[in-house]
Amino acid sequence: MRMKRLKEHRRARGLSQDGLARAAHVSSPFVAAHERGLPRNTHIDVAVRLATVLDIPVMELFAAEDIKALQINTEANSTYADRIEASA
C-alpha cells in the first residue's frame, strides 16, 4: 500500500521533508518518493517510524480505499483459512 496521506500529515505538523526524514531515520529522497506515490510498498517498521514522528496512528498514512481493500483481503483470507480448516 502506498502512503498517500504522508504529505498531508507532514505539512500539518509543519515539517519539511528533510525534517521528517531526519526524525524518522530515513532519507529525504525516500520521503519525497513516497509523497509522489512512487514506491508501491513500504516496510511496516518504516511506516511506524514515520507515524510516530507525525504523532498519528500508522493507518492514518494510508488512503481510506487502501485500508478498505486491505480489510477485504484479510477477510477473504480468513474465510479461505476457515474453509480449509473445516475440510481437514
Residue 38: what pLDDT?
Answer: 83
Residue with the bigger pLDDT between 61 and 22: it is: 22
The answer as to whether 74 is a domain residue is no
Residue 79: what pLDDT?
Answer: 53
The answer as to whether 83 is a domain residue is no
The answer as to whether 86 is a domain residue is no
The answer as to whether 73 is a domain residue is no
Q: How confident is the model at residue 2 (pLDDT cuts 50, 70, 90)?
A: confident
Span 31-80, pLDDT tens digits: 999 999 886 677 888 989 999 999 999 888 887 766 665 555 555 555 54
Q: Which domain holds residue 30?
A: 6-62
Rounded mean pLDDT, 16-45: 90
The answer as to whether 17 is a domain residue is yes
The set of cell numbers assigned to 14 is 509543519
Residues 6+ apart with CB under 8 A from 69: 1
The domain tally of the chain equals 1
The answer as to whether 80 is a domain residue is no
Residue 22 sits in a domain of what CATH number? Answer: 1.10.260.40
The answer as to whether 68 is a domain residue is no
Angle formed by the axes of helices 17-24 and 28-35, to 10°?
120
